[in-house]
């Protein structure tokens, strides 16, 4: 269940330790239960070993148990992407964004996935949104490098004269 960040008022999953907008600690944070943690670990192990179908099964079980676990949606999307299922990957990434709307990398990933499925206008919109969010996303380790990648993608759209 989403709660309100006491610092900025944004919605924050109770499974997130910090707010994705302002980086404030989440006083309502709660750790997932043991079954969820085990299923997530199994999914991560399968993902790291390239067993993407098994990973998908595990991440779907995590989502059934605890729909607000961000990493389950993120890695579900990555697993579908690794199996060349961009439509499914896009759905998973959209769910990840619902949980962390202030995440610039999630917007960037959405742009790349939209580009893959031919949704060029949406891809451009997400790139522009990622660029704006990069100014305030406290989780970005290399803001300048990230912004450079976004600008490169946007320049590619201009070269193609799509926008």
Going residue by residue through the chain, which has 163 residues, state the pLDDT in tens, using 9 for 90 and above: 678 888 888 888 888 888 877 888 888 888 889 999 999 999 999 999 999 999 999 999 999 999 999 999 999 999 999 999 999 999 999 999 999 888 999 999 999 999 999 999 999 999 999 999 999 888 888 999 999 999 999 998 777 665 5
Q: Are residues 72 and 47 in the same domain?
A: yes
Q: Are residues 110 and 157 in the same domain?
A: yes
Residue the block writes with tokens 């499914």: 88
User: Is residue 74 exposed (0-12), middle (13-18) or buried (19+ Cβ within 10 Å)?
Assistant: buried
Query: What distance in Å separates the CA atoms of residue 61 and residue 129, rounded to the nearest whole number?
Result: 31
Q: Are residues 64 and 91 in the same domain?
A: yes
Q: Are residues 66 and 36 in the same domain?
A: yes
Count of the separate structural domains present in the chain: 3
**Range(s) of the domain holding residue 23:** 1-30
Q: How far is CA 36 from CA 29, 68, 70, in A?
A: 15, 11, 12
At 146, list the tokens.
């990230």
The radius of gyration computed from the CA coordinates of the chain, to the nearest angstrom, equals 16
């Amino acid at each position: 269940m989403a709660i309100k960040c006491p610092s900025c008022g944004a919605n924050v999953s109770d499974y997130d330790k910090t707010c994705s907008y302002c980086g404030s600690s989440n006083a309502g944070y709660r750790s997932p239960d043991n079954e969820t943690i085990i299923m997530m670990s199994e999914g991560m192990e399968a993902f790291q070993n390239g067993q993407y179908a098994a990973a998908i099964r595990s991440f779907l079980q995590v989502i059934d148990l605890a729909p607000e676990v961000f990493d389950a949606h993120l890695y579900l999307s990555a697993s579908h992407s690794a199996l060349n299922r961009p439509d499914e990957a896009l759905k998973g990434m959209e769910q990840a964004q619902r949980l962390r709307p202030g995440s610039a990398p999630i917007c960037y990933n959405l742009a790349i996935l939209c580009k893959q499925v031919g949704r060029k206008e949406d891809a451009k919109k997400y790139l522009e949104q990622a660029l704006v969010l990069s100014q305030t996303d406290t989780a970005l380790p290399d803001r300048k490098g990230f912004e450079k990648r976004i600008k490169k993608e946007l320049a590619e759209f201009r070269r193609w004269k799509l926008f």
